[in-house]
Amino acid sequence: MQHKHLFMPLALLSAMAVVQQVYAADEFIVRDIKIDGLVRLTPTNVYGMLPVNAGDRVNDATIANAIRALYATGLFDDIKASQQADTLTFVVVERPLISKVELKGNKLIPKEALQDGLKKMGIAEGEVLKKSALQTIETELEQQYMQQGRYDADVTVVTTAKPNNRVDLTINFVEGKAAKVVDINIIGNNVFKESEIKQAFAVKESSWSSIVTRNDRYAREKMAASLEALRALYLNKGYINFNITNSSLNLSEDKKNIFVEVSVDEGEQFKFGQSKFLGDALYKPEELQALQIYKDGETYSQEKVNAVKQLLLRKYGNAGYYYAEVNVVPQINKDTKQVDLNYYINPGQKVTVRRINFIGNTKTADEVLRREFRQMEGALASNEKIDLSKVRLERTGFFKTVDIKPARIPNVPDQVDLNVQVEEQQSGTSTLAVGFSQSGGVTFQAGLSQTNFLGTGNSVAIDLSRSETQDYYNLSVTDPYFTIDGVRRGYNMYYRKTKLNDDYNVNNYVTDSYGGGINFGYPIDENQSISAGLNIDQTDVTTGPYVSTYVRDYLLANGGGKTGAPGRYCPIPLVDQKC
């Protein structure tokens, strides 16, 4: 790697201060102290850092200690001391101040994350530049790219001197391309075919489908996940002594292709022996054995063991033992090829929820979130209720993400707070459209729908449309918590007016309607409800002069009156009334 530092590195450590040129062979009394070489700092600043003052008796050890103290401040690259008569002079070279940090070419590492990382290393505007940190920056950033399989990445730091002992830093990134895995070679496998093992791997061999999936791009995390998947493959088939003896990567000369080689020792297959539930179990053995999802004598599966452990934790967690512990201790019998399992249970104390704190709901009222919670404040903490609360919040559609984290209360082991972090998302839609049809002419449409109106959790929708033949208006409102028990109430009102026009109304009659409705929904359980509603509608019919005989007869037979005279329109019903 080529480094483009304009300042040559000075490998000076504070421990080397004792070998600097110090002209003080004999002990003497300091009458005056001078500081030479300062640019930004003032002598007063440096005097406060020195453990030596005018009037002190000093010797070589005292001066060496003073040099160490100046180095320890991190402000200097070089320090020398000399004596002339009774004057002690320190000649220093200040470290430059960083005036600007510029990043060029970085796309994979977000700029904000990169700036935070550099700041933690002391590389930021206004900080004193430690030149030893420049090499560290280059090395660590290139290591990050190598973890992503970008072995041809290159990071260089260029320093540019500025007046008043300041420097600009430019970090240039050449991110390169991720190397492709062209071959995966498994050695020592007999139980599973190589194709089955490769299928379990997260990283795949390069193929035509990799153009789209890009699953052949190497990354350290993907390789680690592949090896874990390989272990799980064998452990879930009873090979509890399975071991990966070696895993290595070979990189092509152009750093574009990777060859993976994995050697395994499969061992022998084992079966489940006897399982015991020990410790302060609190429950009867048969109650806990009901959670055992495998039978004695079955092929051993680590996945099933983990599942039983989670079922136990959930059972105790639902009973208020939120921080219960379950340790599984296997006893392997090589002669019988069986594994006996001892589940040691420590339920601990029952835990109650002190407070539920909502974070991130800038628009939605706390009440809207709280009413979806099944875990209550002051009640025993329950995994089941907390998980159900999370599901109900997600089901509202108001939030992009919902994350519930328990927080222990210092010095109160039997209580916990729940911090609910949510990220709100848009909960409304609007439409505005203009169209044309032969049957309706030019049409204008507008609509507004909000499922979380003003953060109340209520749903409001307005629809408007106008054309040459019809006007339509509709308003609907739904309150999902009309009662505290979750009874839903909704109502809507509408008005529709149809315009009689010889060009479009071929039947020579139109209808005008208005009305409304109300409906209720009653929850049966967490996923089902029953609904009932009542709607009222009033429809008026208006006929033209050339209405068909069928329509006219139907209206007259059902309470209508006479049709309008030719060339005029007349509303129906009419009671022996002429237009």
Per-residue pLDDT tens over the stretch 69-92: 998 888 888 899 988 888 999 999
Top pLDDT among 140 and 490 is at 490
How many percent of the chain have pLDDT more than 90? 47
pLDDT computed for residue 506 by the predictor: 52
pLDDT computed for residue 147 by the predictor: 83
Three-state SS across 379-444? CECCHHHHHHHHHHHHHCCCEEEEEEEEEEECCEEEEEEEEEEEEECCCEEEEEEEEEECCCEEEE
pLDDT computed for residue 25 by the predictor: 45
Segment 354-382 shows an average pLDDT of 93
Q: Please say if the pLDDT value at position 18 is more than 80.
A: no
Q: How confident is the model at residue 21 (pLDDT cuts 50, 70, 90)?
A: very low
Q: Please say if the pLDDT value at position 572 is more than 50.
A: no
Q: Per-residue DSSP letters for 102-130?
A: EEES--SS-HHHHHHHHHHTT-STTSBP-
Using CA atoms, how far apart are residues 562 and 569, in angstroms rounded to an integer?
Answer: 11
Structure tokens at 576: 């022996």
Using CA atoms, how far apart are residues 79 and 93, in angstroms rounded to an integer?
Answer: 7
Per-residue pLDDT tens over the stretch 172-223: 998 888 888 889 999 999 999 999 999 999 988 888 877 787 888 888 888 9
Using CA atoms, how far apart are residues 573 and 579, in angstroms rounded to an integer?
Answer: 12
Pairing of strands 338-346, 271-279: parallel
Top pLDDT among 498 and 259 is at 259
Least confident of 171-185, 268-282, 347-361, 549-563: 549-563
Contacts of residue 311, Cβ cutoff 8 Å, sequence gap at least 6: 291, 293
- The sign of the torsion formed by the CA atoms of 450, 451, 457, 460 equals positive
Greatest mean pLDDT range, 49-63, 208-222, 346-360? 346-360
pTM equals: 0.63
Question: What domains appear along the chain, each with residue ranges and CATH number?
Answer: 14-94 (3.10.20.310), 97-174 (3.10.20.310), 180-265 (3.10.20.310), 271-346 (3.10.20.310), 352-424 (3.10.20.310), 428-543 (2.40.160.50)
Per-residue pLDDT tens over the stretch 292-336: 999 999 999 999 999 999 999 999 999 999 999 999 999 999 999
Per-residue pLDDT tens over the stretch 103-120: 888 888 888 888 888 888
pLDDT computed for residue 559 by the predictor: 65
Per-residue pLDDT tens over the stretch 451-510: 999 999 999 999 999 887 788 999 999 999 999 888 999 999 999 988 766 555 555 677
CB 346 within 8 A of CB 324: yes
Residue 170 has phi, psi (to 5 degrees) of -120, 120
Contacts of residue 374, Cβ cutoff 8 Å, sequence gap at least 6: 385, 388, 389, 392
Per-residue pLDDT tens over the stretch 397-452: 999 999 999 999 999 989 999 999 999 998 888 888 888 776 667 888 899 999 99
Using CA atoms, how far apart are residues 65 and 63, in angstroms rounded to an integer?
Answer: 5
Q: Calculate the average pLDDT of the chain.
A: 85
Q: How confident is the model at residue 575 (pLDDT cuts 50, 70, 90)?
A: very low
pLDDT computed for residue 503 by the predictor: 57
Per-residue pLDDT tens over the stretch 548-557: 777 777 777 7
Three-state SS across 23-54? CCCCCEECCEEEEECCCCCCHHHHHCCCCCCC
Q: Please say if the pLDDT value at position 9 is more than 70.
A: no
